[in-house]
Chain A
């Protein structure tokens, strides 16, 4: 254990960041790394619990107390080894993970969790800086060929694990760059994309082949041909089918899916020419009154992006009621609690409103001009279910030049690969496979990540990728030494 009484003596401190005024002016990461000594001090707050709830709170089961202790003892390199033993990409999760581990931290009973995410990020950043992170090519090749479809976090984690087990892995990506949602869903100010490139290089050195601009089922390569060429196929294509808002005015110019908006900006940021970045026309918030519909992380990303583009105002609407400021720890801890979460983007000046529905979009010359909505309340019905009810006199109108729909995703895209293959789907429209062997209804075909589990966190995607790799390896070799 780091320091038995550290949690009583040391205050929680987290990374610093640029003030909103400053950060709204650039696209760089604005959260500042914490000096090593301070990280070490924060690590001393870890109590090395007999049951480390963080460990379970974390979907990849990061061995948090172990690396906290090592960081406290200044044994960063060992800490990195331990960290990598459960997580292929801690530099991603160290930046963009909502950190369910911290919610589960024992010190969070008093709202003072260990700054686990910061420590994680420090370890891996230091690892890269010191040159400790090198490719780990397999000792022996198995001669087995595996195709991984999709290069988001699930596909990448899966590919890296399989390559390290000695398999010949090819990753297929429909976009022009590797990374999936990691690259095109997450704004640069939350995570700069050179971090992805660095991992790609490592993976290439470990033997992974990346093929971009290949959409399976849409072009030359069909599911069948993929199966012919490979001993196993992993589908990790994500859950990209956005939830729509079928109200009058949805078709208006200026009403867009959040992802269309975010991808454009990310491509722009990566240096793509506008024609490539926005082949169907640019969407920009510059000078506009922006309304983001949907109160989740994607919505937040839209807010931050809009401010950086120079939005005049940003309002975020949520259909559900405002969650409590502080959760009832007695009934939620160590689980991920429903509570009011204020993101960095919110601090940059967005207004938020809850329990509102959108009735229609008002137009001016085919362009959206305003959103007409209504207040609702949520009450328990006779059957015990909570139902939505209009609040009398709650109608309102909101100025809106740009409306971004960030209401979540319904599952993987059906056209193309899935329809072509005839894979069985589960009740929620995801590819049917369990989390033990990850096998789909087709022989040799596995599914992992959002494509299997539905919309979720990057860290869940990494977990699925790793576990799926182990399942594929077992399938190919009879047993597997890959850790889950």
Chain B
């Protein structure tokens, strides 16, 4: 069961998983064997949520947790002649023992020894009977020996809970040391000793098994003696496929679908408690348990460990879960005070374990499930009339006759489902929480112990606004901290004015910090991580309700203490401290309670010590920190105020990280808060890195001084405090954006979470100050960091004439003399353009020579590599021709909208001529481009992108593609969404995006149908169904761990994966992301190749690299590192005339590319020939290099990393520390394992129901004759209707067939993505219920889901469809006779829908269409809604508090209009066409429209609610509220005015 070891860039730590989870329980606690069988059936029906790797017999693991099978064990004891005590007095340790016999003997002895030492007894060992039939060879090879140790309690143990605590101490002592013992005793495999469970109440049966194998493998589960009242099951989908038995779920208490994003920080913080944690219940045993959470485990294992210690420490199961995964309480006005106080109180004890999660948990007495605060995982449950609860990631996993179901519901964000088997009832979320919240006077405790910084008195006249120093001192300070003119121009001034993190364009083309000649700030060596695929980023603006910047400045109370006591806490509403705030903290000792004592530590060092002095200074600072904590100081302020001619400031990040980790190592960190007072931080990224390494609050005093200087000097029309306020606001927004990119929602859990990769730092430095941060290419250490710092100090205080009265120019964001080096310079741009326009390969060579020659200036990691020529080069004539190589090239995703039609079509024509591929980008494509032009050219983009906004993604769009690319992230701003401002949305763009001209469009940060890897697999499946011929591609951005994600993508059956470097980027994005998020592609590509090859997954997926490719050499290096294909964006744009203005975000592109302004567009002079020349020149260079390397065909070259060496002679002061060996690592080649793409994925489309439908619908498809189809449906029938829709769209385009031509009646529970991309003319009429993503991308079809007549439930309280329904729907109708989950009609463009209730975030980002909700909605309705209208039946008159009013107005329903309005604007009884839903002028005719829709709803679903409303229409109307986006109304009025004018003109 050995994991594949860390090698090259592959690190098993990066593995992610997600999955299907479910349980079944008998509420009354009646145990039966049958219940276990039901649990296992759930598992089998969740099978499609798991994955298999290269070997179809190797799954990712599955398992089942049951209650203690007492009868089974009695049977064993009887047969073995042993006496089993009564339940509760014995425990079963389920053990995975080493295969090696010596090691196993030792392990068993170790167990006995520790048990005995702890005063308990081993009753005996029971062999767990297993059956290997059907297991794959690799599974069998890695299978552990599985035995159960039966442990009995000594008489000293007073009750079952005490025994549970004791066995926890025993288990920790056994397992925490096995790794060390393995080495010490030379016992191979001992370190793998593992206990899936060790409990008096539960046993876990799990393994590296496929879902159906759990039952066949474990005979116990088939043994009728095995009985349980609950069965918790889990099917894992891991990104990697390394055989691992122990990574299967369930863990000891829980099974998890999702991801804990903050796990690094959570584990660190847990470790940091070592000296502050004590427990009356555990007493001395607590000390034996450390580490409570060992490093190097999966996130689920970590949270399982946290849960068990909380339970052992005396918290109830529900209480502990509420501490670990609190709901979003901070900004919730609807939450009652007690519960808020409860959460607030515990916020100081436990930082949230943050991330998308559906967690099912049990201690054997209670079983429950909870969702993360944002509800990012699906979980549905039913309660039956025979006291069963069935909960699972999907509906329909355990078919139960409808008439037996008394309640169907879903888990809601932050909500808990809890079943107490002893009490025999379901305890409602409100009840559990109310009970816990009122158990102690939390509000009083808070009043006594909590101090809010804002509420503390000012520290006197020392505070207030910054008084800028004299100009010279200020300049010196700015220089000493490395301020540049760009800091002022691009960051501070805009932030002071706008209160926003500033935006830039065109990516970055400067060297990474370690290659730069300039002294770079330490922050620049850190690249932000971001969520892709395995968990979703959050939208911090539209979903602000889950975000929080609250920070608690230590000390932290005892986690296991159950009283407030005198643990005082200091809270700030956000982490940026003004000078006045900091003064309060400095003088906090004087507060009467004597709760706090602050110590300030000087973080500067004497200039006379030179660079060598810095490391000593760091050691001194750490020493002083320890001393201060031991002297009872509980707030440490790390201050570089001492900066001056004779004192050099240690980089604030270095000081912070060093102290943070030093105190963690000493177990002291929890006793103290860490505040940074520094002149250094100024950009959002700086604050984020400081927070990531432990800063709880930061005072950027020099930023404030500088802001004041700017205010005065540039005459800003703002007051001093306004400038500060704007700046703090901008930083706060920026921080939220950065943390949300990782899917983290609170500052508190981000703090210390280390969500960064180090690029260019030595392991030694990282280990000491940034412990366990990934650093892949090594690089600078203390000395070089010190040299950089000293250099800045010299700039300030030496007599350098350039810095006499000026800051350094910077040159990072624009090319400058004396500034940072750039790849794109006047020279390179000019040469490239002259070459392609003048047909001069010679000039092109000059261009590539300048870029490739990095002997003097280093730009890129690949610049440090050299090609290893063949001993026998091949003649160039024998090398594959350029015309064949160019087919591997593609242009990058640039939307029509971000660039002009001229530029977009030029790229498309060029790529089509040479057989390469161009990319639509997000935003659809005008359908005229699908037709070939008279001259044979085609403007059709071969790659159709599917991004989070789904703009223009119709069935027609999808069938007109060769590749379908799912954009998970983009290099310039991974983890972020986008926004096309209203002024850029002209009529053409609005037409292709199916939106309204003049209304801004938001692409959400996440794809709302991809919150995890199995969701991605679903979307891949959806797209493949829509267009089975197209390759499905997934675009990822390079970061540490991307290889693992790519492996998951390959397992999710993508045909193609793109790895983008951070450099790339052609559109606008926040400068913070542009520069600091993601890493160079060399790292990500190499990791991808290594991981795919290790997994044996490489052959079935094509790998593309992009992000800053500029020359033939770049392509060759990419190929050698493992890329089959290559994407270029900036370079071909430059060939077509782009001059890197970096003004794309301003619509002022002077060469007509990144603009929609007709005047500027006319200036576009690029031609397809220019672009073609570029690609052929690149290919020619590639050929020349291939000849030298001895490759005749391109395919031979892919993955041949052995032909790359690191440059031997790097003499650069910083770059010389770089070590490329991990990038150039070659996974030991095996002949059967492909190192390049040579196979195809099997998408299992043959299993689709649609095959049957297509056959039956032949008359309709071929002749348009109406067809009726009847069929059953189950949850495993996914994506129903989509393949059929593809067939319709291929023949009939977006217009489709006449309404209702193909009518399909279905019964049962539909699997995911029911009716996705359903084309016009198809009706899906489902009696039953459906899962997530119903009607996604609806393209004109009609979807009806209604409750079966035999079900006797109120549809208004009955969930009928899952989450994210009608996501990106373009047109069509949907009627749902029940309640929908979260995010109903998210980003709806034009569909018309009626539903009887919905969850949170309804109509989010909606841009068009009409939605009617006949029942209750959740919170945050209409967030980011910019178009379309919604009607909500607001019976309780509480909708206003549930609606996000940031962009919409609520209105009463306008009464029917009498008289003769223009009839063409009135709503119609029938849709007019696929383009026009017949809903008329959205600003008028509400009553008519509503009536039509409710009548239709009644017609299609037979809804009772619809009938009631129609029966009492006048009163009903009065209770409806209309939701209208303000921008939408304004745009419609503008259009109307325009039409009026046109009419008048015409009349004249």
Contact = CB atoms under 8 A, between A and B. Distances in A.
B817 A86 contact: yes
Contacts of B1141: 47, 49-51, 106
A8 B1146 CA distance: 13
Contact of A82 (B806, B813, B1140, B1146): B806
Given A81-B805, A483-B801, A47 B1143 contact: yes
A334 B816 contact: no
B1148 A8 contact: yes
Contacts of A66: 485, 809
A104 B506 CA distance: 21
Interface stretch (A56-64, A229-237, A441-449): A56-64
B1123 to A, nearest CB: 28
Interface in A89-106: 104, 106
Nearest to B809: A63
Contacts of B1165: 330
A251 B834 CA distance: 46
Interface in B1137-1182: 1139-1143, 1146, 1148, 1150-1151, 1159-1160, 1163, 1165
Contacts of B1140: 49-51
A81 B806 contact: yes
B1163 A330 contact: no
B1350 to A, nearest CB: 66
A263 interface: no
B1109 interface: no
B806 A107 contact: no
Q: Which of under 10, 10 to 19, 20 to 34, or 35 or more describes the interface residues of A?
A: 35 or more
A7 B834 contact: no
A50 B837 contact: no
Contact of B1146 (A4, A56, A333): A4
Contacts of A107: 1150
Contacts of B829: 51, 53
B485 to A, nearest CB: 7
Interface string A22-53: 00000000000000000000000001111111
Contact of A47 (B809, B816, B1148): B1148
Contacts of B806: 81-82, 85
B824 interface: yes
Given A81-B806, A109-B1150, A481-B799, A55 B816 contact: yes
A434 interface: no
A51 B826 contact: yes
B1139 A106 contact: yes
A47 B1149 CA distance: 10
A110 interface: yes
A140 B801 CA distance: 13
A110 B1163 CA distance: 9
Contacts of A53: 826, 829-830, 1139
Interface in A437-484: 481-483
Contact of B814 (A7, A48, A73, A334): A48
Contacts of B822: 51
A63 B713 CA distance: 21
B223 interface: no
A331 interface: yes
Interface of A is mostly: loop
B853 interface: no
B3 to A, nearest CB: 46
B1149 to A, nearest CB: 10
A106 B814 CA distance: 14
Contacts of A85: 802, 806
Contacts of B799: 139-140, 481
Contacts of A86: 817
B957 interface: no
B1148 A5 contact: yes
Contact of B1142 (A50, A331, A335): A50
A164 interface: yes
B838 interface: yes
B646 interface: no
A397 to B, nearest CB: 41
A299 B532 CA distance: 67
A4 B816 contact: no
Contacts of B1159: 8
Given A48-B814, A85-B806, A107-B1150, A4 B830 contact: no
Contacts of B814: 48-52, 65
B1071 to A, nearest CB: 12
Interface in A374-406: none
B801 A104 contact: no
Nearest to B504: A50
A49 B1140 CA distance: 7
Given A8-B1148, A109-B1151, A55 B801 contact: no
Contact of A51 (B802, B824, B1151): B824
B798 interface: yes
Given A55-B826, A330-B1165, A50 B805 contact: no
B505 interface: yes
A63 B830 CA distance: 19
Contacts of B838: 330-331
A334 B830 contact: yes
Contact of B816 (A8, A63, A106): A63
A482 B801 contact: yes
A455 to B, nearest CB: 23
Contacts of B809: 63, 66
A335 B800 CA distance: 33
A473 B1146 CA distance: 45
Contacts of A110: 1163
Contacts of A164: 801
A106 B1137 CA distance: 12
A109 B800 CA distance: 38
Contact of A330 (B485, B818, B833): B833
A335 B815 contact: no
A56 B825 contact: yes
A481 B798 contact: yes
Interface string A59-88: 001010110000001010000011001100
A66 B806 CA distance: 12
Given A50-B1143, A86-B817, A56 B826 contact: yes
A334 B837 CA distance: 14
Interface in B678-729: 713-714
B837 A331 contact: yes
B1239 interface: no
B1457 interface: no
B801 A49 contact: no
Interface string A105-118: 01101100000000
B827 interface: yes
Contacts of B800: 481
Contacts of B802: 85, 481, 483
Contacts of A104: 826
Nearest to B1145: A4
A338 to B, nearest CB: 14
B140 to A, nearest CB: 60
A164 B801 CA distance: 9
A372 B642 CA distance: 82
Contacts of B1146: 4
Given A50-B1143, A109-B1151, 9 more contacts: A4-B1143, A47-B1150, A49-B1142, A50-B815, A53-B826, A55-B815, A56-B826, A63-B817, A106-B1150
17 contacts: A8-B1160, A49-B814, A49-B1140, A49-B1142, A50-B1143, A51-B822, A51-B826, A51-B829, A52-B816, A56-B826, A66-B485, A85-B806, A106-B1141, A331-B837, A334-B826, A481-B802, A483-B802
Interface of B: 485, 505-506, 713-714, 798-802, 805-806, 809, 813-818, 822, 824-827, 829-830, 833-834, 837-838, 1139-1143, 1146, 1148, 1150-1151, 1159-1160, 1163, 1165
Interface of A: 4-5, 7-8, 47-53, 55-57, 61, 63, 65-66, 73, 75, 81-82, 85-86, 104, 106-107, 109-110, 139-140, 164-165, 330-335, 481-483
